[in-house]
């Protein structure tokens, strides 16, 4: 558990476990610890990075402004601070939209991502060849997709 000063605000974040980096970005009006409702325990073999995004939870937002692009810049700055070159990521709603911006700004940084309840379209600059889109009709399908995104067997299938 830590707080870091970056991009003009204080960001609270947690890093837990060892292994491949797995970034979890919460939804609007949420906090990083909301992920405990999705994962009863941290996925094995993962170094889990869970921030409270700008203006949420224990993170500040002195500017009182929020954009998804700024949120993405904050996430990139956190990854830089933690010296994480690449990560798999799951974003929920607002976190998913911020994650889309991270992936468009630095496409080689995000190895795999699951976007839950994100934007209805993908920006044209997102490389189509690296994007697999599937519609998930239920929470069960979403959980399966999340498990696939973080499992080593999924990475080897690509």
| Tens of pLDDT, residues 61-90 | 999 999 999 999 999 999 999 999 999 999
β-pairing, 46-51 with 20-25? Answer: parallel
Average pLDDT over all residues of the chain: 84
Question: What's 133's domain CATH number?
Answer: 3.40.50.1820
At residue 124 the predicted structure's pLDDT band, cuts being 50, 70 and 90, is low
- CA dihedral of residues 31, 15, 156, 105 (deg, nearest 10): 60
Q: Please, which pLDDT band fits residue 97 given cuts at 50, 70 and 90?
A: very high
CA atoms within 13 A of residue 57's CA, in its CB half-sphere: 22
The residue that leads in pLDDT, 110 or 156, is 110
Cα 30 → chain centroid: 13
Given this model, what pLDDT does residue 92 score?
A: 96
Q: How far apart are CA 48 and CA 35, in angstroms?
A: 11
pLDDT at 154: 39
Residue 48 DSSP label: E
Structural domain tally of the chain? 1
- What's the whole-number mean pLDDT along residues 108-119? 90
Put residue 80 in one of left, alpha, beta given phi > 0 → left and psi -120 to 50 → alpha: alpha
Confidence bin at 1 (pLDDT 50/70/90): confident
Cα atoms in the Cβ-side hemisphere of radius 13 Å centred on 13:
25
- In angstroms, the CA 67 to CA 20 distance is 28
Q: Is the predicted pLDDT of residue 144 greater than 80, yes or no?
A: no
Q: Region 105-123: what's the mean pLDDT?
A: 84
Phi and psi at 17, nearest 5°, equal 85, 180
Alpha helices in the chain (DSSP H): 68-81, 94-105, 139-150, 152-157
Confidence of residue 148 (pLDDT cuts 50, 70, 90): low
For the question of whether the overall pTM of this predicted structure is more than 0.75, the answer is yes
pLDDT at 118: 84
Structural domain harbouring 142: 2-157
């Amino acid at each position: 558990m830590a707080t870091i000063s970056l991009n003009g605000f204080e960001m609270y974040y947690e890093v837990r476990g060892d292994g491949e980096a797995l970034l979890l970005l919460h939804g609007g009006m949420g906090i990083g610890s909301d992920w405990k409702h999705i994962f009863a325990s941290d996925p094995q073999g993962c170094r889990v990075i869970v921030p409270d995004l700008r203006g949420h939870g224990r993170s500040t937002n002195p500017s009182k402004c929020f954009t998804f692009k700024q949120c993405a810049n904050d996430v990139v700055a956190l990854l830089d601070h933690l010296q994480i070159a690449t990560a798999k990521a799951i974003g929920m709603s607002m976190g998913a939209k911020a994650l889309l911006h991270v992936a468009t700004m630095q496409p080689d940084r995000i190895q795999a991502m699951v976007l839950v309840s994100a934007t209805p379209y993908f920006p044209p600059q997102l490389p189509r060849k690296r994007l697999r889109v599937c519609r998930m009709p239920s929470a069960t399908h979403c959980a399966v997709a999340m498990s696939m995104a973080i499992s080593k067997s999924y990475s080897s299938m690509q």
